[in-house]
Amino acid sequence: MDKIGTLNKHFVWLFALAAVGLSFASGFVTSGMGGKIASFVYFGIFAVSGFLAMAFTQAKTLAGVGAFIVASLASAGGYYLVIASATQEATEAMGGGAEAGALGAFVGGFFALIIAVGTLVAGIGGVITGNKVRKKALETA
C-alpha cells in the first residue's frame, strides 16, 4: 500500500495508452475463445487500467477521465479503420461495386460506436473506483 498515489500525475496518460495497446493485443490472444470472453477481456483491460491509473498516480479525477476519453476514441478509431477496410474488401470480393465503401464505413462506424461507448464506460468506471480507493488508502495512512 506504500505505492498508492506516489506516481506523477502525468503517468495517467501512460496507463491510458497502455490500455489501448493491451486491448488491441488481447484481440489476438482471445481470438479463438468466443465473442463474450474477448469482449470481457477487452473492456476489462480498460477498467483495470483506469483503476490502476488513479490508484497509483496523483492525478485528479478530471485528468483521468480526459485520458480515458482520448484512449476510448483512439481505440474506436483503430477498430473503425480495421473493420471498415475488412468490410469493404469483403464486399468488393463478392462483387459489390460502388456501395462497398459506403457499407464498409457504415459497419466500421457501427462497431466503433459500440467500442467507444464500452471502453468509455469501463475506463471511467475504473477511474472513479481507483480514485475512491486512493483517497481511502491515503486517509488511513
Q: What's the pLDDT tens digit per position in 67-119? A: 999 999 999 999 999 999 998 888 888 877 777 778 888 999 999 999 999 99
Instruction: Confirm if 49 and 19 have CB atoms less than 8 A apart.
Output: yes
Taking CB atoms within 8 Å and a gap of at least 24, the contacts of 33-37 are none
- Total domains in the fold of the chain: 1
DSSP state of 56: H
The reply to whether 4 falls in a domain is no
Grid coordinates representing 14? 501512460
Cell 478509431 belongs to which residue?
A: 77
Note whether residue 37 is domain-resident: yes
- What's the predicted TM-score (pTM) here? 0.87
User: From the centroid of its chain, how far is CA 100?
Assistant: 28
Its domain, for residue 50, covers 11-75+118-140
In a domain, 57, yes or no: yes
Within-domain flag for 52: yes
In this structure, is residue 125 part of a structural domain?
A: yes
